[in-house]
Amino acid sequence: MNRVDLYVSTLNSDNTKKCYRRDIIAMLDFVDKKEENINIADMLVWKESLSNQSSATIARKIAAVKMYFRFLHMNKIIEDDQWMQMLRTRNQLAHDYDGTFAAEKFTEIINVYYPLFVKLQKNVEKYYKE
């Protein structure tokens, strides 16, 4: 069983299974990379390619892909993703009311996450240079 089918098998609704499978495969075909090699710039370009579709369709496709990657990471099919860790840290920071967690994560934010954004900026710029 391939990764997409493995993920889809965890869903309940037959209609959701059909739509999510189609959406995930379409994204993988568009990006034309294995999941572990897809980066945030690839995802932004893919998302931009959806702009001619309805907002409900775009939201479903993004949800399908987001849940698929979350499944891959949670089941350790893909590991060591700094972007996923950054999102977890960001979610925790939203509930850090006294600043202690932010103080703990400051060095990581500056030394790991900030360089990721700089790299992302450079990767994305090549798609939008005139």
H or E element, residue 50: none
User: What pLDDT, on the 0 to 100 scale, is given for residue 18?
Assistant: 97
pTM for this prediction: 0.69
- Separation in Å, CA 90 to CA 21, 86, 102, 119, 122: 29, 6, 10, 19, 22
> Rounded mean pLDDT of 64-83?
83
Confidence of residue 82 (pLDDT cuts 50, 70, 90): confident
The SS3 of residue 80 is coil
95 class by beta-carbon count within 10 Å (0-12 exposed, 13-18 middle, 19+ buried): exposed
Q: What is the pLDDT of residues 88-129, one digit of tens each?
A: 888 888 898 999 998 998 888 888 888 888 887 777 677 666
Residues with Cβ within 8 Å of residue 81, at least 6 apart in sequence: 73
Amino acid at 121: Q
pLDDT in tens, 2-34: 999 999 999 999 999 999 999 999 999 999 998
pLDDT in tens, 49-69: 999 999 999 999 999 999 998
Q: Which two tokens stand for residue 78?
A: 């893909």
* Residue at token pair 């990581």: 108
